[in-house]
Amino acid sequence: MFKTQLLILLAIFRLASASDAVAQNERAYELVVFMAPKCPICQDYTAVLNELNQTFGNKVSFVAYFPNAHTSEDDVIAFADRYALNFEAHPGGLDLAKQLGATLTPEVFLINDDGEILYSGRIDNRFFALGKRRTKVTEHSLQKALEQLTQGTNPHPNATEAVGCIIEYP
């Protein structure tokens, strides 16, 4: 049931943002990242996400959703412009966030065409608590998951704990 609902939600969001539909259908995986424009951790990770999309975007479709109700389309456009996002970004996605169990921004979900979550959690271990960062990243969790996936193996570990700003559920 969960996979069916997830596939339906992903299809609805893809139809609503059909600008990259042809290229997206050629990719076997989708990376969903939940973001918030005023979250400093999201702002900090935009360069990393852009680099990862540059490297893996031919096999994985990257898309950001901004699920908080107070985030407008203009806010998302301004964020995408300010941080030069090289992947799709859309307001909304709260239902998808609920379905996936997302609670924070940024939080990522790597999903295959069958709706199976292959990896979820953090981008890397730069932040170990809200407002607390390491001087050097030692675990590139999302990059490792993407590398394993594109080499034909399932990501391990398949889940890590994200650190970020809270998604505002009503």
- Residue count of the chain, please give it: 170
User: In this structure, what CATH number is given to the domain that contains residue 116?
Assistant: 3.40.30.10
The answer to the question of residue 116 being in a domain is: yes
Instruction: Tell me the residue type at 12.
Output: I
The answer to the question of residue 33 being in a domain is: yes
Summarised one tens digit per residue, pLDDT across range 95-112 is 999 999 999 999 999 999
Answer yes or no: are the C-beta atoms of 163 and 130 closer than 8 Å: yes
Could you tell me the sign of the dihedral formed by the alpha carbons of 158, 162, 168, 170, in that order? positive
- Is 121 in a helix, a strand, or coil? strand
Answer yes or no: are the C-beta atoms of 133 and 122 closer than 8 Å: no
Residue 22: CB atoms within 10 A of its CB come to 8
Summarised one tens digit per residue, pLDDT across range 122-169 is 999 999 988 899 999 999 999 999 999 999 999 999 999 999 999 999
Structure pTM? Answer: 0.87
Q: Residue 99: which domain range?
A: 2-12+29-166
